Amino acid sequence: MSEAVINDSILTAEAKKRVEELLEEEEGALNRYAGPLAVLLSVLAVLMSLFHLYAAVDIVPAYLLRPLHVAFALALVFLLYPTAKRFRHKLKWWDVLLAVASLAVVCYIIWWGDELGDRATTPNNIDVMVGIALIALILEGTRRSSTWILPFICMLFLAYALFGPHLPPPWTHKGYELPRLMGSLYMTLEGIFGTAVDVSSTLIILFTIYGAFLQYSGAGKFFIDFSFSAMGGKPSSAGRAVVMGSFLLGGPSGSGVATTVTLGSVAYPLLARSGYSKEAAGGLLAAGGLGAILSPPVLGAAAFLIAEFLKISYLDVILMATIPTILFYLAIFIMVEIDARKFNMQTIVLDKNDSALALAKRYWYHFASLLAIVVFMLMGYSPVLSVFWATVCTFVLSFIRTDSTLIPYEWFRGKLPWVRGFWGSGLVKALEGGSVGVLGVAMTCAAAGIIVGVVTLTGLGLKFSSIVLDYADSGGQALVNFWVMLGAERTPALLHDMRLLLTAFFTAAIVWIVGLAVPVTASYIICAVIAAPALTKLGVPDFAAHMFIFYYAVLSEVSPPTALSPFAAAAITGGGPYRTTMQCWKYTAPAFLLPFMFVLDPSGVGLLLGGSFKNLAAANWGSVAVVTITAAFGIAALAGGLQGWLLRKTNWFERTMLIVAGLMLVYPKPLFDYIGIALLVAVLLMQKRRPLAAAT
């Protein structure tokens, strides 16, 4: 489980309470028990982690692994998450009843095994009743562990499947009766037990356990200390340290909110001393935290789903994310450097006793643990085995120093009680935290499986894509007419480009809107099955379409009303939540125009390095270099335009030129690149010739 380290010394009681509420909104409001009940639930969580670690190295059939994963998750959710806030920290009889019912339903599924799938098209009455019970349990578990909105959306999709003949065109379909729907949703390895739960039961939980091992071995604290020690002596030192720290901390954390809070509780005093306003500091912290979901080698849970949907290696997903991640952090770094000049920030000494080199020499093994996954995958191991052995490496390497060991040396020497000493060790806490940390994602994946099952059964994905393409076709014709009025030649290529531009815009808007209400993982799954086909029909490679959707699903993390990261940062800094969100948008806006480069032109796909290691040999590296460099210049131009500052303060004409230049440079066409570079150079020359203005 990702844990945020809240520094009480800089937070008021009210701010600390607000931060904890936002963390609970992100990760769920867990019950805290004491005594035998706490031990019992801890044992259950540890058993869940041990079972999945065993499944990583031995063959557990999918028809067993996936239902057992859901059973563990449902039982723990009902026992650990209260029905409502007023029942917090109190285990009620209905919680136990729901946990037992979850186990009973899954026992029924496992008992029948293959026979259940054989009668999926003609289920009996008991099969239907068990299916209804399973869906009800999943919806309630999802409501408890995340939000009521996703279960509500699931019910809308179920209603769509049942009442298709009564819907208005173009949404009409023949409709499906309850037995046929239940057979499709849970009696085969599709629907609920399909791709999403498959990924949750293999990759996601193993990466969550791995992150917990890193965290409890002290890697998180080391990454923060190293970042702050490495960045010193410049007016932008505090901002740079936040960006570097968020990149390193994002791996073991895996949560945008947790990364924001952990880093913010340490970094905000430095940002304030440097000259950041409350809202600007909060926006920078939230933008850095957002990078936790985008950054290799771990990325967010949705990244594992990309690999499964596309049937590619997770190493290929890491490869695709490499250049966009560099450009994302480049955007924030440029913003930080502009901040230092724009606000005439003060040079501060970051109060860390040890140098970065000394820390690296002392705790080098934390870097080795973080990179172990990539090393094992490059050696040819599967992603599942890679993360398993990376977890083992983290455990073994933790014994290098006494302050990082996951089992205290005193326990081996007999100086701690044999059972109690071991049970209180970092190893047990990491195993428990790995299971508890995956519960929300597991419930989201199971609920999303309901949506995917309905979409597959009814053909909604193709229908939705046709509707989007129809709108794009109408709008594309209008845009073509506009360009013809300006003197352009009407060609099929121009119409295709305009249709693709509008389809990408509509898709981004859909993903964004869906992401306002549901977590990143759910918004990616929903939009991958209903929106991605529209892009692929226009010739966009499937991997580029999915990465486009993934990035805009992540953007929802900083968009009201679910802008949890900026709201958490505002609680730490004391700034206004919505003004902090706008500042976060300012820091992230340049980088989030990048996904359009993936889909608007074949050269833009170069940012994803061809989508796999197999295509690297055939890659046009000249084209990759050009599109990367133009994207970097585009980010710099947009950063200057949004900040109203480049070398010095811009006037309205220069600011407009910079924004236009940025938009031109992120549209991967040679003509637009030339225009964008010319505008950027013109602004630079204009600013060079003008005296330095006082910062405002």
**304: number of Cβ within 10 Å:** 26
- Which pLDDT does position 624 carry in this prediction? 84
Least confident of 152-166, 620-634, 680-694: 680-694
Name 380's Cβ contacts closer than 8 Å, sequence gap at least 6: none
CA–CA–CA angle 70, 96, 446 (5° rounding): 20
- Which pLDDT does position 695 carry in this prediction? 39
Residue 580, pLDDT > 80, answer: yes
| Residue range 373-381: mean pLDDT, rounded | 84
Least confident of 234-248, 343-357, 554-568, 595-609: 343-357
Residue 529, pLDDT > 70, answer: yes
Taking only the tens place, the pLDDT of each residue in 431-454 is 998 898 889 889 988 998 999 888
Would residue 96 be called left, alpha or beta, if left means φ above 0 and alpha means ψ between -120 and 50 degrees?
alpha
d(CA 79, CA 100): 10
| Residue range 4-16: mean pLDDT, rounded | 51
- Phi first, then psi, for residue 667 (nearest 5°) are -100, 110
- Which pLDDT does position 488 carry in this prediction? 73
Retrieve residue 676's tokens.
Answer: 């964008």
Mean of per-residue pLDDT scores for the chain: 82
**407: number of Cβ within 10 Å:** 17
Name 613's Cβ contacts closer than 8 Å, sequence gap at least 6: 313, 315, 316, 319
- Which pLDDT does position 349 carry in this prediction? 62
- Which pLDDT does position 79 carry in this prediction? 93
Retrieve residue 279's tokens.
Answer: 């809202």
Complete DSSP assignment for 5-72? ---GGGS-HHHHHHHHHHHHHHH-------THHHHHHHHHHHHHHHHHHHHHHS---HHHHHHHHHHH
Taking only the tens place, the pLDDT of each residue in 666-681 is 877 788 889 999 999 9
- Which pLDDT does position 271 carry in this prediction? 81
- Which pLDDT does position 66 carry in this prediction? 94
Taking only the tens place, the pLDDT of each residue in 535-579 is 888 888 899 999 999 888 887 777 665 567 787 788 788 787 778
Complete DSSP assignment for 419-444? HHHHHTSHHHHHHHHHHHHHHHHHHH
Taking only the tens place, the pLDDT of each residue in 485-525 is 877 777 887 788 888 888 988 888 888 878 776 777 888 88
| Residue range 343-371: mean pLDDT, rounded | 76
- Which pLDDT does position 98 carry in this prediction? 95
| Single pTM value for the model | 0.82
What DSSP state is assigned to residue 691?
P
370 and 219 Cβ atoms separated by less than 8 Å:
yes
| Residue range 689-694: mean pLDDT, rounded | 61
Task: Specify the residue for token string 């639930």.
Answer: 41
**pLDDT band at 182; cut points 50, 70, 90:** very high
Q: Which of 558, 504, 505 is nearest to 287 (CA)?
A: 558
- Which pLDDT does position 9 carry in this prediction? 46
- Which pLDDT does position 140 carry in this prediction? 95
Q: Chain centroid to CA 542: how far? A: 19
- Which pLDDT does position 23 carry in this prediction? 58
CA–CA–CA angle 232, 236, 238 (5° rounding): 60
Q: Is 254 helix (H, G, I), strand (E, B) or coil?
A: coil
**pLDDT band at 6; cut points 50, 70, 90:** very low
Least confident of 2-11, 356-365, 431-440, 603-612: 2-11
Residue 232, pLDDT > 80, answer: no
Q: Is 531 helix (H, G, I), strand (E, B) or coil?
A: coil
Helix axes 426-458, 149-162, angle to 10 degrees: 30
Q: Which of 506, 547, 67, 511 is nearest to 309 (CA)?
A: 547
- Phi first, then psi, for residue 657 (nearest 5°) are -60, -40
For the CA atoms of 151, 155, 158, 163, the dihedral, rounded to the nearest 10 degrees, stands at: -170
* Burial (CB count within 10 angstroms: exposed 0-12, middle 13-18, buried 19+), residue 453: buried
**pLDDT band at 22; cut points 50, 70, 90:** low
Residue 460, pLDDT > 60, answer: yes
Counting Cα atoms < 13 Å in the Cβ hemisphere of 274 gives 30
Residue 346, pLDDT > 80, answer: no
Q: What residues are paired with 645 via a beta bridge?
A: 649
